Amino acid sequence: MKKNQIPMLVAIPALLLGIFALLSESYKTFFVALAVSLMLFGWNRMKSRQSTGKIVETVQTTGEGIHDQLKEIKAGIAALSDPYGPDDVLAAIGKSGREAQSAVREKVLAADQAYNENRYADAERAYTTLIDLFSDVPILYFNRGVSRAFSNRNQEAFNDFDQAIQLGLLDAAALYNKGVSLGALGRREEAILAYDAALKIKPDFHETLYNKGVSLADLDRREEAILAYDAALKIKPDYYQALYNKGVCLADLGRHEEAILAFDVALKIKPDYHEALNNKGVSLAALGRHEEAILAFDAALKIKPDLHEALYNKGNSLAALGRREEAILAYNAALKIKPDYHEALYNKGNSLHALGRREEAILAFDAALKIKSDYHDALTNKGASLHYLGRREEAILAFDAALKIKPDFHKTLHNKGASLADLGRWDEAEQAAMQAIELQRRVGASTENTEKLLEDIRVNRGTK
């Protein structure tokens, strides 16, 4: 039945009762019939006027995509190759045609000791002194590069590794360390070239294959990354970090069943691998297996109680199961560890909204916006909470702020249209609803609710 037929169905009995009242000889019967007639008329007007307020939509995070709702954890790159030992350094100096005096020997030993004791700045100074004396000895640059890299001075470390290679140190370790430094600088394409050069010299260098996979994954070349991890695992089958990162790539590709298998193999090798348990939970949640996901998150938290990602993810799975009160407790626990966790504040707000605790939801959205001012989802859902509280003008301000950040967000336009309609601002409401429908069609989203909203707007305005 179309909505414009409903007022007529109510008006007809009201009219008949009105005629009956006029024809009635009894005053009592007259007033009863008249009262019922007026009630039906009033009910119809009220229903017509309030219908738009029931169609406001929130932006949900649970069940809508792994990157929006769940926090995965990626394993870092394999460590640098160690510096050459004192004997190698002294032999290299000897090959340069100069004899290492006792003072030089002492400096070489002091640099090595400083490195082994993690005093990287002291090691760097010692190697710099040696380079001033023997500027054509490549492994001195290599060793200083390692010390600089451990001090997070990646550009200088890269310069040293590159200089060592230019001076003739064309071994796999130098090329590998150059790749590590390039990766740390975000120059991943160049890092892959360096790793490939290292693999030409040493094809079974499993750390190089692994790090190549990390760089490929960072470039969103996940299929190639999986091949690199598989090559590393062929050489070292118990390489649990490679299994884990392979699982992350599979999950990113939406291949969650395979990802879970990879995480399980990694956990068989390293049962206390809390990152693997967390990401296994992420994939289980993406498959809608939220009860199992919660078990995985709990297992991760048993090993690492302050793993805020697992607490957040657990909250999302609880929310997906409708266990909103428990979800809020999980978000609060995550926020106790990481107070600036804007996603947790946002999803806490969503659960509060779903429980009808809209004043509290607005506080949560505001807290998220204080941390991330351009969080358009939080602005949209804040507007939805304001709308349901009857604060339509404020809701529209929130929707407008969201649209300033993301003008093509159809849910925000739909909600703005609903609030405008409830204020009787029909032209603006119609424009917002029509824009929302156009955007929904463009992205393949359902237009059903917005089309109903548009029909209500036109019926109420009397233009249909």
The pLDDT tens digits for 405-424 are 999 999 999 999 999 999 99
How far apart, in whole angstroms, are the C-alpha atoms of residue 349 and residue 346?
5
> Which residues, other chains included, contact 375 with Cβ-Cβ below 8 Å and sequence gap of 6+?
342, 346, 368, 369
**Average pLDDT of 29-41?**
42
Q: Is residue 13 predicted with pLDDT exceeding 90?
A: no
Rg of the chain taking only CA atoms, in angstroms = 33
pLDDT reported for residue 183: 93
State the pLDDT confidence band at 77, using cuts at 50, 70 and 90: low
Q: Is residue 61 predicted with pLDDT exceeding 60?
A: no
Closest CA to 144 of 174, 171, 184: 174
The model's pLDDT over 290-300, given as tens digits with 9 standing for 90+, comes to: 999 999 999 99
Q: Is residue 248 predicted with pLDDT exceeding 80?
A: yes
Q: Is residue 10 predicted with pLDDT exceeding 70?
A: no
pLDDT reported for residue 99: 60
pLDDT reported for residue 293: 97
How far apart, in whole angstroms, are the C-alpha atoms of residue 381 and residue 387?
10
Q: Identify the three-state secondary structure at position 239.
A: coil
Least confident segment among 82-86, 359-363, 381-385: 82-86
| Most distant pair of Cα atoms in the chain: their distance | 131
By the 8 A CB rule, do 303 and 274 touch? yes
Closest CA to 237 of 215, 202, 206, 271: 206
Q: Is residue 33 predicted with pLDDT exceeding 70?
A: no
Considering only residues 116 and 272, tell me which one the structure prediction assigns the higher pLDDT: 272
pLDDT reported for residue 229: 97
State the pLDDT confidence band at 56, using cuts at 50, 70 and 90: low
**Average pLDDT of 434-443?**
95
How far apart, in whole angstroms, are the C-alpha atoms of residue 37 and residue 442?
46
For the chain, the domains span 3-54, 88-169
Least confident segment among 11-15, 152-156, 267-271: 11-15
pLDDT reported for residue 58: 59
Least confident segment among 20-29, 120-129, 147-156, 268-277: 20-29
Burial of 273 (C-beta count, 10 Å sphere; 0-12/13-18/19+): buried
Centre a 10 Å sphere on the Cβ of residue 13 and count the other Cβ atoms it contains.
12
Q: Is residue 187 predicted with pLDDT exceeding 80?
A: yes
By the 8 A CB rule, do 70 and 316 touch? yes
Q: Identify the three-state secondary structure at position 356.
A: coil
Which contiguous run of DSSP H or E holds residue 24?
none
The model's pLDDT over 426-437, given as tens digits with 9 standing for 90+, comes to: 999 999 999 999
Considering only residues 51 and 99, tell me which one the structure prediction assigns the higher pLDDT: 99
Angle between helices 206-218 and 188-201 (to 10 degrees): 160
Q: What is the mean pLDDT of the chain?
A: 86
**Buried/exposed code over 101-132 (b: 16+ C-beta within 10 A; e: otherwise):** eeebeebbebbbebbeeebbebbbbbbeebbe
Please name the fold of domain 88-169: 1.25.40
